[in-house]
A and B are shown apart, each in its own frame.
Chain A
Amino acid sequence: MNIAVLLRQVPDTEAKVVPDPDLRGRIMESEIKFILNPYDEYAVEEAVRIIERGGLAPGGQVPGGAGGLPLSGGGGEAVGFCIGPDRAETALRSALALGLARAVLVSDPAAVEADVVTQGRILAAAIKGFAPSLILAGRELIDTQEDALAAVVAHFLDIPHVLGAGKITLDGEKAVVLREVEGGSLEIAASLPAAVSCSKGLNEPRYPSLMAIKRSKAKEIRKVSLAELGVQSGPQKSRIAELKAPPPRAAGVRVEGEPAVVAAKGIEWMADVAKVI
């Protein structure tokens, strides 16, 4: 039983993100360090733990078939799938050091630039031949907060998708996913194969050991083109039209005096000047 993990690369949480003055909708990349999307680490960790426990019991899997890559290895592998530029290889390397068996990277600019629905369609085509029983992804991207990719992939594979897993329990037939919601929790059962987006708290991603880092070097990152996948990107359905830095914070108003006076003045200001109450 195979597990596919959707991977993406994002700017480091500490990076200073500045809109590119020359390219609308893009950020200045030259000074930025890129990392594996932190939510994706939960997905990788979960996939690796499932494999380490002996894999999934036999059950539903995405039917392989025409058009897909003949990827299915010995079975029982966790493999990463990514659309991204060449620099995304470093994020894939990190995922391999955390325990994925290998990774597939679609780096055609047409795929990298595509909208999320198109990317989902492309990934579905790439994943199909791998015939996974489970597709795991991070809950959202920490940069753009886009959270649709796993659902779109599930759509094109015609399998269920469950968002925001805090816990995943598997038997051969289904995945039972626990999701924390306002004031309680939901338990959602999805038949396998299924796609699940992973939240923080699902597990604690391991620190890669130096030995694992070394081993990851020998693992394959296979670059595939849209032509090899037999898909086309098609017209762009949506794009980031503009990216703006937040406006600099305006100077505040300082009120001084006894607490009662300060409170009264504050309320007056909120009502009459700021007009927020």
Chain B
Amino acid sequence: MDFQFSDEARMAIDGAKRFAVEKLGPGAAERDEKAEVEVKLLKELGELGYLGMTVPEEHGGSALGAVAYAGSVVEVAKVDAGVAVAMSVQNSLVNDAIEHFGTEAQKGEFLPKLASGGWIGCFSLTEANAGSDPASMRTTAVKDGDGYLLNGTKNFTTNGAIADAVIVFTRCDLGGKPANSAFLLKKGTPGFSIGKHENKMGIRSSSTTEMVFTNCRLPKEALLGEEGKGLKIALTTLDGGRIGIAAQAIGIAEAALDESVRYSKERVQFGKPIAELEGIQFMLADMATEVEVAKTMLFRVAWMKESGAKRYTKEAAMLKLFASEMSHRVCHKAIQVHGGYGFMKEYKVERLYRDQRITEIYEGTSEIQRFVIARGILG
């Protein structure tokens, strides 16, 4: 058993940290306040290779692997969790889906642009009436001559407003039986437009929008993977996505811990720093322990993916469940350590607390993770 990062993984993670602190740090609070999505920063991350970390080199990626990727998302999330989710979606939902299910033509056209930050991608599964139960989606793809005609509205799509490449999941008719198919299309395709932009509680530096399809005609080459296998593609891809979201949750928690350690040494009450009070020390000790446990789990599941485990569904669900709920507990305590100041926008923990909340919801709510885990252990 070897708990060392490879040289490259360590350097990649260090580089992500430096980029996050120097480039993302200065504007993070303002982007949150104004709900500003800065595509330029995301593209800069892409130019350095951070948006194509698991894409093979022949498709323009750096193929550094899931461990380096997970560690890099942690570093970005410590500073700006909105940028971290954009990075996670692009790497593990968009690139991975194309890499595993795309045709050679699709890989050749999309991956080099996505892996270098030239293009931003999104993964559009959820609908207003199909969240935890994606099989009930209503967006349709109907055969139309040689291609397909798409109609319907997707919602809550991360990177929606800034996406150049869109993966969308639809209902389809497979020889009389209802099924689901996935499609890969480009921005500007006639019949496709961006709907409502959501005004969110947290991760406000990320874009979340509706995606509207009105008689949107796609050629048969736009089909991603086999016809009728859409849901399988979505669920398999989400296993990897959960590593990214767990990393995001852990980054937020680690930042909350760092802020709390610093603040507790500076804040004086009853004539001494509150860090000398056992009540505060116990909170900090619990926070640090929880972060450590989640991090260890993160790198283990990332390693499983990297070393080619066929399925790691149960482990990814456990990781995402634990990391997101852990992040909730840690951010909660971080506000407690800060007292009234933690409730104020001047202090970073206020933003971390809001940013953390979504990690328990997207890419499968905690309840859905428990359901997946239970199925995994009960068989």
Contacts and interface: CB of A to CB of B under 8 A. Distances in A.
A90 B7 contact: yes
Given A207-B48, A210-B48, A210-B53, A90 B10 contact: yes
A243 to B, nearest CB: 24
B11 A209 contact: no
Interface string A190-208: 0000000000000000011
B7 A211 contact: no
Contact of A207 (B15, B57, B62, B64): B15
A5 interface: no
B11 A97 contact: yes
B92 to A, nearest CB: 16
Nearest to B22: A207
B18 A213 contact: no
Q: Which DSSP category, helix, strand, loop or mixed, fits chain B's interface?
A: helix
B19 interface: yes
Which secondary structure dominates where chain A touches chain B?
Answer: helix
Contacts of B11: 93-94, 97, 208, 213, 216
B49 interface: yes
Interface in B1-52: 7-8, 10-12, 14-15, 18-19, 47-50
A210 B50 contact: yes
A80 to B, nearest CB: 15
Contacts of B8: 213-214, 217
Contacts of A94: 11, 14
Contact of B18 (A97, A207, A216): A207
A161 to B, nearest CB: 30
- Which among A208, A211, A216, A217 has the highest number of chain B CB atoms within 10 Å? A211
Interface string A208-226: 1111011011000000000
Interface string A48-89: 000000000000000000000000000000000000000000
B273 to A, nearest CB: 13
Name, among A207, A210, A211, A214, the residue most crowded by chain B CB atoms within 10 Å (CB to CB).
A210
Contacts of B7: 90, 93, 217
B49 A211 contact: yes
Nearest to A208: B15
Interface in A139-174: none
A210 B48 CA distance: 6
Given A90-B7, A93-B7, A207-B48, A213 B19 contact: no
Contact of B19 (A90, A207, A216): A207
Contacts of A209: 47-49, 62
A11 to B, nearest CB: 14
A210 B49 contact: yes
A94 B47 CA distance: 18
9 contacts: A94-B14, A207-B18, A209-B48, A210-B12, A210-B48, A213-B8, A213-B11, A214-B62, A216-B11
By Cβ-Cβ distance, the 10 closest A-B pairs, closest first, are A210-B49, A210-B62, A209-B48, A213-B11, A209-B49, A213-B8, A211-B62, A210-B64, A208-B15, A207-B48
